[in-house]
Amino acid sequence: MQMLKDRDYVIVDHDLNMTLSQFKNKYGENMKRDVLTINRRKRGDDSDQIYVFFPDEPEVGLKTMKSYITRMNEENVIRVILVAQQNLTPFAKTSISEICSSGISEMGSRYHLEIFQEAELLKTLLERYTTKETQSSLPRIQLIDPIARYYGLKREQVVDIIQPS
């Protein structure tokens, strides 16, 4: 939820500040991960939506990815974050890269899929990685950089990083 809020999606404070006991009351102790699916709109732009999927199976396969793409098409959503328990199957990885590079939604926009492993998100990435405050030129951030992935940054996007002293 914090990642979506940092990306300027509409998040209710109650969802953001939920305690473990409140979470268990809402979803149950042994809930299915699919129940956790999130759909949020960007603040100020109702047409920009994102899905966050939590697949049940440890290794996400092609069948699951196709069902997510179908759901995205039905609801006109082009952005998705997939929180996987483990790595994706090789065939699913190949299909995802094909979908992102050539797949065009029914709205005419390219899909934007991001994949995170559950272990990466257990501790907020921002708490784990910091940057130096004094740098004379603009550094380049790799697309695979954890912070760039956290904020959903794209190529040639310029960001200003401000840290408290």
- The confidence score (pLDDT) of residue 107 equals 47
Share the mean pLDDT of the chain.
78
Query: What is d(CA 43, CA 78) in angstroms, rounded to the nearest whole number?
Result: 16
**Which residues make beta-bridge pairs with 115?**
82
Do the beta carbons of residue 100 and residue 110 sit within 8 Å? yes
Say if residue 60 is exposed, middle or buried (CB neighbours under 10 Å; 0-12, 13-18, 19+): buried
40 or 22: whose pLDDT is higher? 40
In the chain, % of residues over pLDDT 90: 2
Fold annotation for 2-122 = 3.40.1340
Report phi then psi at 40, rounded to 5. -130, 155
- 66 confidence band (pLDDT: 50, 70, 90): confident
Whether residue 28 is predicted with pLDDT greater than 70 in this model: the reply is yes
- The confidence score (pLDDT) of residue 104 equals 53
- The confidence score (pLDDT) of residue 102 equals 57
Mean pLDDT of 26-31: 78
Least confident of 67-81, 88-102, 119-133, 142-156: 119-133
Do the beta carbons of residue 122 and residue 83 sit within 8 Å? no
Mean pLDDT of 39-49: 87
Sequence ranges of the chain with CATH classification 3.40.1340.10: 2-122
- Buried-exposed string 85-101: b where 16+ CB fall within 10 A, e elsewhere: eeebbeebeebbeebee
SS (H, E, C) 146-159: HHHHHHCCCCCCCC
Do the beta carbons of residue 2 and residue 17 sit within 8 Å? no
SS (H, E, C) 56-112: CCCCCCHHHHHHHHHHHHHCCCCEEEEEECCCCCHHHHHHHHHHHHHCECCCCCECE
